[in-house]
Each structure stands twice: as C-alpha cells, then as structure tokens.
Amino acid sequence: MSARIHARYFVETPCDLEHAAQVMAGEQSSGTFTRLASETDALRTAHGARVESIQHLEVVDRPSLPMRADLTPTVRHGYQRALVELSWPLENFGPSLLNLVSTVAGNLFELKEFSGLRLLDLELPPAFADAYPGPQFGTAGTRRLSGVELGPLIGTIIKPSVGLTPEQTAEMVEQLIEGGIDFIKDDELQANGPHSPLKARVDAIMPLINAHAERTGKKVMYAFNISGDIDEMRAHHDYVVAAGGTCVMVAINSVGLAGVAQLRRHCQVALHGHRAGWGLYSRSPHIGIGFAAYHKLWRLAGVDHIHVNGLRNKFSEEDDSVIASAQACQAPLFGASAPDYTVMPVFSSGQSAVQVADTHAALGNSDLIYCCGGGIMAHPGGIAGGVASLRQAWEAAAAGIAPEIYSRDHIELAQAMETFR
C-alpha cells in the first residue's frame, strides 16, 4: 500500500458539496472532471486524488469571493461551507516539494465551483525527509552557534530599514553588542542596495562581532539579508561565512521554494526565513494558505528560523494565531519516523518585556528568538537596560514567578513594565 499525501481545505460552494469535492480531486490529479477515453478505471484508481472526508459547516447567503456573473443566478440554496480532506498517492509526483505545491495549491484555487477555497494543513509521508534535508541547525544548532544555552535569543532589527550606511549600521551594532544582545537582523528591505552593499556591511560589522567574541567567548548572531538571485545569494553566503558570520537571512516568499531549497544545500550557517508578503496568504479567511500548511513547505526547504509575529503585535494577526504558529514550528513534521525538522519561531513586531509572561505561558518553553525594536531602544536604561529587562522577564517566566513580583528586585524589568505597559 502506497504512501499518500493529505491536504485539508476550507471550502465554500453553491454546488452540491460531494460533486464540488470531486471536482477539486479531479482537477488536481488524473484529469478534468469529464472523463477522457484514455482515463481508465485502473489509472483512476492508481493516480486519482481521493476525497477522504467532508465535514459540513454553516450555510451563508452571499459568496465570500466573487463568482463568475454567468454562474451566480443559478444559486438557490446559499453557499455551503465545509472542511474537505483530499489525499494523493505519493507516486503521482514523488517527494518533490515544488510539484507538491502545484498539486495541493495549484489550479484548484481558480475553480469556478467555489466561492471560497483555502488550504489549511498538509500531512506528508517520510519520503520527503529522504529528499529534503530540512533545517540544518534548528533550535539546538542555533543555541550552539550563538552560545545562548537557556532562554530565548534576545534580538533586534536594524532600523531605519533603509538608508543607513554600512558604517552607521556598524555603529548601531557596536552599541547592541555592548548592550548584551544575542541576535541582530537586517531589515527585510535591506539586502544589497547601492548605498549599503552586502559585502560592505559584512566588512563593517563582522570585525566588531569577532572582536567581541574573542574578548568574551560570546558570538552575537547577525542575520545578513542575502535575498537575491541564486548566484548572488551563494556568493554572499560564502562571503558571510568567510568573515566568520553565523547566519544568513532570506525573504522566503520573494526568493521562492526552489531558491531557498538550493541555498539550503549550500548553506553552512543558520538560515533565517523572513516571511514578508505573508499577508497575501493569511489575510483572507476564504482564499490562501494557513500557516500550518505554509510553514511545512519552508521547513522542508530547510530554513532554521521562521517569523510568527508576536502577541499584541503591530500587524493584523490575532494572538491565538501567533501562538498556534509558534507551536506548529516546534512540533515534529513527520511524527516519530523521521528527524523532527523543528524550527525556531521568531517573535517580533511591537514586542517588549510586557508580553513575555503571556508568551511563555502560552508556549510553555523559551525555544525561540524574541526580537524587539522599541522594547530595547526606548527602554529608560538604554539598550543594556532593554536587553536586561527581557532576560529578567524570561527568567521570571521560566521560574513561574509573576513579573510584578520579579520586578521588585529587578529594576530593568520594573522600568520596562512601567514604560511599555
């Protein structure tokens, strides 16, 4: 019996639901819904997608996504919502990440039968683990590279996003290192622009990081944004490695799956996945790809870190969604039958010591990167005060002590609670 790929969808349709699900299965497997002479029963049995289950949800009066004008007048009984699970034999395309995407997230989004169709989750057979090495460093490797044994990596992002020279960036990095930071990243808008070429940035920054590492034994992890064309990314990766860097960053949606998977096979340092453009997949409940499915693709492609926003963030994402995403990153990808492919979730956007207790309570661990901008820079004690406040907040959380109690004899945490509340 062959291994199968499973995918779960939210759908909404004015058609008979059983028929609509069969249209999805047909479009994404052996043929169109109309059977051709050459589509034998044996072929359909061997290669057809299977409708595994249909779970009815509510009926709504109006289509959530516009349907073709020539189709809508025939709708009489509203738009049925449902959860549909399909499965495919692995033989249809083998353990190929790109052809998986064309199958589970391809033409079906355009089917005229649906006024809503969203990929929610994916379940992949372990054959994919043989084909894709997955995260090279993950949590344990990132801790080893950064020397942070306990608690999250306390991080920040270089701002302004665009416009600083390499020298100005290095000045900021120097202050951050002195302030005790663990992790720094380029903004996703800053890769290799004419005013801050990647190599010049590496040249300005890495001597500071290396000197500090020699002095203290602690090497701050800097995620250099190398997003670019394939040859450019490879050359820039090599430049970062030669300079002693421990992390490169890519804007995964912009680069794409083939590019990230290729970079992973060449990569010698932690691969930081920024999901700029994620709103395209996430903002509508009626079209798109849920994080549960989305992030599995990038874990297979091999990122070590992936962004999840943070509690009470500056964007549109709700707290429940943030926590579910972080939990997904930390769950094994293939069950017990393969390496776990876990990645470190990266919290960011409007974060400070104030959200730490809730974040730890929801997640139950500190295996993450916790990036703050204002939560560090705007702390009354400066950068060192901001970083200290965050460490204290995470210490308190890990020890099960309320921040109000812990802050009585931890002044930086007290200042943060006062400033950012």
Contact stretch for a copy of itself (CB under 8 A) within 133-141, 159-167, 324-332, 402-410: 159-167
Q: Which CB, 282 or 389, lies closer to a copy of itself?
A: 282
Question: What is the nearest approach in angstroms of a copy of itself to the Cβ of residue 374?
Answer: 7
Structure tokens given for 15: 């058609």
Inter-CA distances, 307 with 246, 262, 420, Å: 18, 20, 22
Considering the complex, state which of residue 93 and residue 147 has its C-beta at the smaller distance from a copy of itself: 93
Separation of CA 188 from chain center: 14
Q: Report if residue 99 touches a copy of itself, rule: CB under 8 A.
A: yes
Q: How far is the CB of 141 from a copy of itself (least distance, A)?
A: 23
| Shortest Cβ 98–a copy of itself spacing (Å) | 4
Number of residues that bind a copy of itself (CB under 8 A): 95
Least Å distance, CB 313 to a copy of itself, is 8
* Contact between 108 and a copy of itself per CB under 8 A: yes
Residue 176 within binding range of a copy of itself, rule CB under 8 A: no
Task: Work out whether strand 270-274 and strand 247-251 pair parallel, antiparallel, or are unpaired.
Answer: parallel
Least distance to a copy of itself, CB of residue 209, Å? 20
3-state secondary structure of 353: helix
x-or-dash pattern for a copy of itself, window 295-334, by CB under 8 A?
--------------x----xxxxx----------------
Placement of tokens 């963030």 in the chain:
313
List Cβ neighbours of 294 (8 Å cut-off, separation of 6 or more).
Answer: 278, 281
Residues between 79 and 98 with contacts to a copy of itself, criterion CB under 8 A: 91-94, 96-98
Query: In the bound complex, what is the minimum distance in angstroms from residue 24's beta carbon to a copy of itself?
Result: 12
Nearer to a copy of itself, 85 or 188 (CB): 188
Give least dist CB 309 to a copy of itself, A: 8
- Helix, coil or strand: residue 122: strand
The span of 6-14, 136-144, 199-207, 280-288 binding a copy of itself (CB under 8 A) equals: 280-288
- Print burial letters for 136-164: b (CB count within 10 Å at least 16), e (below 16): bbbbebbbebbbbeebbbbbbbbeeeeeb
Give, as ranges, the residues between 20 and 39 that touch a copy of itself (CB under 8 A): 28-32, 34, 36, 38-39
Contact flag: residue 106 with a copy of itself (CB under 8 A) = yes
> Which of residues 166, 373, 375, 385 is near a copy of itself by CB under 8 A?
373
**By CB under 8 A, residue 112 contacts a copy of itself:** yes
Alpha-carbon gap, residue 297 to 134, rounded angstroms: 10
Taking a C-beta distance cutoff of 8 angstroms, is the pair 393, 361 a contact? no
DSSP 208-258: HHHHHHHHHS---EEEEE--S-HHHHHHHHHHHHHTT--EEEEEHHHH-HH
Q: Is the peptide bond before 160 cis (omega within 30 degrees of 0)?
A: yes
**Structural tokens at position 135:** 């995260």
Largest CA distance in the chain: 79
Rounded to 5 degrees, φ, ψ at 322 are -60, -50
The distance of closest approach from Cβ of residue 97 to a copy of itself in the complex, given in angstroms and rounded to an integer, is 8
Q: DSSP string spanning 129-143?
A: HHH----SSHHHHHH
Beta bridge partners of 10: 83, 118
Q: How far apart are the first and last CA of the chain?
A: 57
Query: Applying CB under 8 A, which of residues 117, 220, 221, 328 lies at the interface with a copy of itself?
Result: 117
Our finding on whether 352 is near a copy of itself (CB under 8 A) is no
Q: Which of residues 38-67 bind a copy of itself (CB under 8 A)?
A: 38-39, 43-44, 46-47, 65-67
Residues 6+ apart with CB under 8 A from 227: 188, 191, 233, 249, 250, 251, 254, 255, 274
Under rule CB under 8 A, residue 130 binds a copy of itself: no
Q: Per CB under 8 A, which of residues 224..263 are in contact with a copy of itself?
A: 227-231, 233, 251, 253-262
Residues 186 to 215 in contact with a copy of itself, rule: CB under 8 A: 188-195
Minimum distance from CB of 26 to a copy of itself (Å)? 9
Cβ proximity to a copy of itself: between 144 and 266 the closer is 266
Instruction: Find the angle CA(348)-CA(349)-CA(354) to the nearest 5 degrees.
Output: 85
Stretch in the footprint of a copy of itself (CB under 8 A) among 6-14, 153-161, 336-344, 394-402: 153-161
Among 207, 279, 332, 335, binds a copy of itself (CB under 8 A): 279
